[in-house]
């Protein structure tokens, strides 16, 4: 085994493997993550969002009588009346008009309903 061969086998080859793994790990273009990676302590300057549950009795059948015939509405089977409002907020719609979608925080219409409970936490 000449000196050149020794160097190639014991130096160049491991180095090549090392560099390949490094490139696969750190070079851009790899796994792209959607969304924001939250880290505690970072500022949060996104729009406020409010997620709601899907309506209780949302029919899953295809659009039929009384449903809106809009393309794509077969998934939700919304009745034609739903969505005819301005959709400004959850207050007047109650159940039904919103899925678990982001809704805007509209004008404040607070109404006292009695003693509220709950809890508070910080991290």
Partner 1 sequence: MTRVLHAEPHDTGTVDTAPNRADEGYDTVFSYRELARLDEALTMSSRETGLRFTLYIGDLGKQTRLRAEELHARGGDPANSVLLAVSPGQRVIEVVTGPSAARRLPDRACALAVLSMTNSFASGDLVGGVVNGLRQLSDQAGHPRLARDH
Which residues contact partner 1 by CB under 8 A?
Answer: 33-54, 56, 68, 70-73, 78, 80, 83-84, 87, 89-91, 93-95, 99-106, 108-123
Q: How far is the CB of 18 from partner 1 (least distance, A)?
A: 30
Q: How far is the CB of 104 from partner 1 (least distance, A)?
A: 6
Of 1 and 117, CB closest to partner 1: 117
d(CA 96, CA 98): 6
Of 28 and 114, CB closest to partner 1: 114
Of 4 and 118, CB closest to partner 1: 118
Intra-chain end-to-end CA distance of the chain, in Å: 62
Phi and psi angles of residue 67, each rounded to the nearest 5 degrees, phi first = -90, 155
- 3-state class (DSSP) for residue 5: helix
Residue with tokens 């160049």, as numbered in its chain? 12
């Amino acid at each position: 085994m000449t000196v050149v061969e020794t160097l190639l086998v014991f130096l160049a080859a491991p180095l090549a493997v090392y560099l390949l793994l490094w490139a696969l790990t750190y070079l851009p273009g790899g796994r792209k993550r959607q969304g924001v990676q939250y880290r505690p302590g970072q500022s949060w300057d996104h729009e406020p969002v409010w997620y709601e549950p899907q309506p209780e009795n949302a029919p899953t059948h295809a659009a039929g009588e009384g449903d809106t015939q809009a393309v794509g509405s077969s998934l939700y089977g919304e009745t034609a009346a739903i969505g005819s409002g301005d959709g400004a907020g959850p207050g007047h719609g109650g159940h039904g008009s919103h899925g678990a979608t982001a809704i805007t925080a509209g004008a404040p219409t607070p109404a006292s309903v009695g003693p509220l409970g709950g809890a508070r936490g910080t991290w």
